[in-house]
Amino acid sequence: MNDLKEKVVFITGAGGGIGKAIASAFAREGAKVVVGDIKQEFVAGTVKMLEEQGADVLGVIIDVTNYDSVKAALNEVVETFGTLDIAVNNAGVVGIGSIEEITPEEWDRVLGVNAKGIFVCTKAELEILKPKQSGAIINTASIAGKMGMAHLSHYVASKFAVIGFTNSIAKEVALDAITVNAICPGIVGTGMWRGEGGVADRWKLEGETEEQSWERNKKAIIPQGVDQTPEDIAEAVVFIARSPRITGQAIAVDGGITM
């Protein structure tokens, strides 16, 4: 098992619900954590939380769709902490809509962050990891990277891309002792799944409220009957980072949805 103490971990989308939990989990392992997000206030929020945890932390504002922005942030990481050991490419955007609703621009927005963003970050990270001949990259995919889902076609396409890319790069760098994996969160009962216009709202039967649709779908779709928490996802990310012989996998944390 890899010891994560003092390891330098770069996390994108670290201002969001799942990213924050991942950052916190690595901090508990004694890692040095780099918080990357496009929104300054999101970066500041997670940095503050980690400082209160007593972690060694650096905040960077990045746009994962922009290579120069990610490259500049990674240069700062190396200047500050001396190296990079682990990267969690977790930034993403939600896309919900029927085929009639999705515009070509919306397709580009979702694929741009979720698919191109993973490519851009991986490319820049490997420029540090390959010469070291060690490291771990973990990309946030989704159960939407393993199955089709109504009203999420562009989101699903972006997450299938993440898994295909992850497996290909895992093969490409296998002899460099770098592991590359995807984590597939299931249904995390926040964000895209809940609220007006969310997935549960979309999947309502006639006469059903959003709350009733959420409860029905949760029971029907998740064999364990309970939704997943950001902490459930973070736990698995840390496990993958510790495991030198797991590579090219897309590991679902989904209460059995994709079993």
Residues annotated as catalytic are: 155
Q: Which of 4, 9, 11, 12 binds ligand ADP (CB under 6 A)?
A: 12
Q: Which residue number has the CB closest to ligand ADP? A: 16
Query: Can residue 22 be called a binding residue for ligand ADP (CB under 6 A)?
Result: no
Q: Which of 64, 162, 187, 199 binds ligand ADP (CB under 6 A)?
A: 64
- Smaller CB distance to ligand ADP: residue 16 or 145? 16
- Residue 174 Cβ, how far from ligand ADP at the closest point, in Å? 28
Over the window 76 to 115, marking each residue x when it contacts ligand ADP by CB under 6 A and - when it does not, the resulting string is ---------------xxx-------------------x--
- Smaller CB distance to ligand ADP: residue 44 or 226? 44
Q: Which of 83, 190, 229, 258 binds ligand ADP (CB under 6 A)?
A: 190
Q: Which pair of tokens denotes residue 158? A: 């972006």
Pairing of strands 178-185, 57-61: unpaired
* # residues contacting ligand ADP (CB under 6 A): 22
How far from each other are the two terminal CA atoms of the chain, in whole angstroms? 27
Three-class secondary structure of residue 85 per DSSP: coil
Query: Can residue 186 be called a binding residue for ligand ADP (CB under 6 A)?
Result: no
d(CA 174, CA 78): 23
Spell 221-251 as b/e; 16+ CB within 10 A means b: bbeeeebbbbebbbebbbebbbeeebbbbbb
- Smaller CB distance to ligand ADP: residue 35 or 128? 35
d(CA 21, CA 26): 9
- Smaller CB distance to ligand ADP: residue 40 or 168? 40
- Smaller CB distance to ligand ADP: residue 7 or 116? 116
250, 184 Cβ separation under 8 angstroms: yes
Closest CA to 140 of 60, 233, 67: 233
- Segment contacting ligand ADP by CB under 6 A, of 9-17, 128-136, 175-183, 236-244: 9-17
Over the window 28 to 47, marking each residue x when it contacts ligand ADP by CB under 6 A and - when it does not, the resulting string is ---------xxx--x-----
Residue 92 neighbours by CB under 8 Å, 6+ apart: 13, 113, 114, 117, 140
Neighbours of 17 (CB within 10 A): 15
Q: Which pair of tokens denotes residue 69? A: 């922005």
The residues in 149-178 that bind ligand ADP, with binding defined as CB under 6 A, are none
Residue 68 neighbours by CB under 8 Å, 6+ apart: none
Residue that is written with structure tokens 């945890």 in the block: 53
Interacting residues toward ligand ADP by CB under 6 A = 12-13, 15-19, 37-39, 42, 62-65, 91-93, 113, 117, 190-191
